[in-house]
Amino acid sequence: MFVLLFTVSFLLAGGVAAGVAWLSQDPIEVILHRFLAAHISVGLSKYLRFAIVVVGVASGTRVGALEEYIGATSYNKAALSAALTQEVWVLELYRTVVATLEGIVWLLLVVAFFVLLAVLIIRKGNMKQLQGGQE
């Protein structure tokens, strides 16, 4: 039963992450095209969408419950399987969706920080170049 829960959790996390990657395709491309060259922004956009799916699945899939079940003794496995009620399934699937979205948000926050940092470095370099040209 835990293997089924893990499989459903994996598929749900993959679906949510793929949905977020698909929905954010246009905004990501617009933002990256604004700050980067066209050929770089297209490649980086594809990489970022792939990273969204990977991070979403990795953060959303609940491996801890499966590890507890695998590591449990044989007499305890029956009790663990019996504990998987409908309420537990709903709660685990909710946790999967929330953890998937949380992982994606953290990824995008880190990417936004590095894009902002790159823009600031480029602008600072351009200011030095302009000041050097005026002298």
Tokens 């617009």, residue located: 30
Query: Which pLDDT band, with edges at 50, 70 and 90, does 135 fall under?
Result: low
Average per-residue pLDDT for the chain:
85
Give the residue-averaged pLDDT of 10-35.
Answer: 91
Q: Are 8 and 94 in contact (CB under 8 A)?
A: no
Instruction: Specify whether the CB–CB gap between 60 and 9 falls below 8 A.
Output: yes
CA 132 remoteness from chain centre: 43
Q: Which of 49-53, 84-88, 123-127 has the highest mean predicted lDDT (pLDDT)?
A: 49-53
Q: What is the DSSP letter of 83?
A: T
Residue 100: predicted pLDDT: 96
pLDDT tens digits, one per residue of 89-102: 888 899 999 999 99
Stretch 71-100: mean pLDDT, rounded?
81
Residue with tokens 């933002």: 31
Delimit the domains of the chain by residue range.
Answer: 2-106
Residues with Cβ within 8 Å of residue 26, at least 6 apart in sequence = none
The pLDDT of residue 134 is 61
Residue 48 confidence (pLDDT): 93
